[in-house]
Structure 1
Amino acid sequence: MADEANRAAFFEIQGRMIELTAKLKQVQTQMRNKEGEKKRAFLTLEELRPLSDEANTYKSIGRTFVLEPKSVLVNEQEQKLKDSESAIASLQISKEYIEKQVAEVENNLRELLNQDPGLARQIMSMSVM
């Protein structure tokens, strides 16, 4: 009976680990995307700043380019930069939280396997098949 309870606990912990790993990968992907947005906004700002205020600047909207004052484009890029930085900070907090949860689940799994060495052998024989 205890053996069956340990197996059920193992599969529950395994499911939780798979779920947390998927969440962690998703957060890491989102962070990479936000880093790219931040870099594009920064580079665009670097290109816009040396231009004179009278220079014709265009904003891309789909396939169309619309004439916009330089100040409007600079403000939009600065806002994108700030938004990206705040999103990255928020995602970093989420990532750290998920990493702590993963470590906790790993410890739970380790404890379970140390309590029941027979379970570890069963699991290893299942994975070989």
Structure 2
Amino acid sequence: MANVETSLKEATTIIDGVLGAALVDCSSGMALGTVGGGKDLDLTVAAAGNTDVVRAKLRTMEMLGLKDEIEDVLITLGTQYHLIRLMKGRGSAGLFLYLALDKTRANLAMARHQLKKIEAELEV
């Protein structure tokens, strides 16, 4: 089992094209850990904004009566992918992993696969 810092650093080294990564508390919108980012990608702002995305989708699923779980959310921009993976392990409910990826360098299928593996190994 890996801790938050180790897991986020792993994401930036094993997933091609990562611009930034964060572990986010969905109830508060606060980033519990971040790696990367910079002047063009403020991960604390991204954490709060993506919390709104997750909450909106959960509300919509509830209104539709869907009895399912969100695996991940993909937002495709002109130059980036933003990937949100809700955590489901013991003690990690209400948290999600967030990755911002450079679209020209990232392999989206591999990024999803690796992020799922990182989630499984992360101990919060």
Question: TM-score of the superposition, structure 2-length normalised?
Answer: 0.27
More strand as a share of residues: 2
Question: TM-score of the superposition, structure 1-length normalised?
Answer: 0.26
More helix as a share of residues: 1
